Copies of this chain bind each other. A is one copy, B any other.
Amino acid sequence: MNGYDLDRALQLSAGPEPGVLHGQTDPAWGNMVGPYGGVIAAALVRALLQLQCLGEPVALTVNYAAPVAQGPYQIACRAVRTNRSTQHWMLELQQQVDGALQTVVTATAVCALRREVWHCQDLPLPQAPDPQSLPRSRLFDSVQWLARYDMRVFTGGPPMLQDDSGHDSLTQLWLRDAQLRPLDLCALAAISDAFYPRIWLRRARWVPSGTVSLTLYLHASAAQLGEVGSDFLFGQARAQDFRHGFFDQTAHFWAPSGLLVASCHQIVYYKE
């Protein structure tokens, strides 16, 4: 074990049942209620890697079906289909609730062998100030997981007033692991959920809300993430539609080199 907060939170051990890994939530990654959604996504990626999935995860959908309680959990993983170059998984994160094992998170993943073929990136890194020229943002002091990241927001920080004066949902920031842990697939999955709910910004109001489903496309390979090292990623998020108690939220992440490393789409519950 290294000394990184993320790896401490992602320790998974095999039990007697094949495909079932056992972990424990870490209060250092706590959100307002339960663990931060990103660390759950990261634990699912860790599980896939630990079970020696084919190639690397390229797509992951995580459904937050119920609040994850602080404490032990298990991840039941099933490789449903293994093809020549792709592998499909179904995963369930389960906890003991009142003496019964209940599924609190469901997920599907596509793992694949990455091949060097024709490539092209059509979404360029937006213009942004040098992260070193920006102060580290102080966001919500009461939220544990935020302290795990060095975030430097320069567009669309949390609104100062709850006055319904919002007009846009765009946030742009640089972010990296506060401990300078080198970037990898697990760390990228953790980062993918780092944007606060777009409705807070769009309305300028702290509306109770929470991610219901998250889909992550991992464009960069593990080797490419390794080249980012502990440098900042550029992240950008916005929403398109708020209706009937759900809004979508789209985020993209780039390396400083300009490489698009991931896209993340969410559907988020909001109360009012």
Contact = CB atoms under 8 A, between A and B. Distances in A.
B270 A117 contact: yes
Interface residues on A, range: 35 or more
Interface stretch (A1-9, A12-20, A55-63): A55-63
Chain B CB within 10 Å — which of A59, A169, A263 has the most?
Answer: A59
Chain B CB within 10 Å — which of A58, A83, A118, A212 has the most?
Answer: A118
A267 B59 contact: yes
A63 B108 contact: yes
A60 to B, nearest CB: 9
Q: Is the interface of A mostly helix, strand, loop or mixed?
A: strand
A86 B271 CA distance: 12
A65 B85 contact: no
Nearest to A246: B58
Interface string A73-112: 0000000110101101010100000000011101110101
Nearest to A215: B215
Interface in A207-223: 207, 212-213, 215, 217, 219-221
A155 to B, nearest CB: 15
A269 interface: yes
Given A65-B81, A213-B110, A240-B263, A248 B270 contact: no
4 tightest CB-CB pairs across the interface, nearest first? Answer: A114-B244, A65-B88, A65-B81, A123-B240
Given A65-B88, A240-B260, 10 more contacts: A58-B246, A63-B88, A65-B80, A65-B81, A66-B81, A108-B108, A114-B244, A116-B244, A121-B240, A215-B265
